[in-house]
Structure 1
């Protein structure tokens, strides 16, 4: 959550893919919206500070709260009223920006709403109570820091590659191969920001499971629109 600040100069913020789905509520008069998984970076212009309350879901979890396949949200956003219905979304939006609510109370209100939706989903479906295939695949990919093939992952989970890809796209939002690439890119980015590692891109590429330095550079261009040296 960010509180209003003094007037600041307009700027543009670049958002990098992070394998997460978010819901944002802002006090600028716009309706709340969900932002899906991203396959590339995008920029957000910020003309003035806006008070924001946001929820970030772990990979594969958002569908349990939104009640929909996540692939249609990829690289886009949708109004919460379109996903939950105008009345439920509107009531929450109005309640959030009541002047006498503290930040902690706003967060509790959102938490209560989300947990209520999750309980309703679980009550309506036995499948919602079990660990979906997509979330098990996410855990395996993250444990390997993205350095895993889809074929090996499918074998580990006891399903076909085609079935894994279909379920993963529905439950997580993007294909498992792309998800793994972004995991590996995020790890490389975190290590690159460590000054002790930034000087040797070949060693960094090998540590993160890239074939070579050019493979690392290609992912940075794809996901950040700049080379590793720019960081």
Structure 2
């Protein structure tokens, strides 16, 4: 997809600088992380700012490495402005879904760009569903749309079982943000890739049905 776009470099740099500040300054980290109690007291900035903080270098590297691969796909098809809209929408929706599921857990906290990055990943899959992804420990590449569906189904499972110290709901909310924003910004996908639009909607429908039935 060509050289890394300037806007991607700026986003990665912002994550690195703000995360590094958080590594060194505990007060800064605590003030801007996602925290249900803080948000419900009126500190809405946390919904946005927490997306630029990370717990450690490995967490930061994994998110930015993923963004490095998939941002160029979105920028190639939609341009830098729409890429930024998808990134921010996914970040915010990911954290809003976390807030919705944990609204009574005042001590619940989280950080990371995972929601935003998952939204960009899902947007890239929607724009290029036939691209092949090489996954660690899997010998053969798999189609991007298969990965996207399996990833979100795993996220639902993770939300239900509360697997690990991972914000599965933020990942899922980010993916929904990327999915919805991409379709709004490029509605022609309903004509050119209606089957794929429908397939990628399956995990989202499953999530809301399970929630309605009280299974989450």
Could you say whether these structures have the same fold, taking a TM-score greater than 0.5 normalized by the shorter chain as the test? no
Please report the TM-score for the alignment, with normalisation by the length of structure 1: 0.28
Higher CA-based Rg: 1
| Greater per-residue strand proportion | 1
TM norm structure 2: 0.29
> Which of the pair is proportionally richer in helix?
2
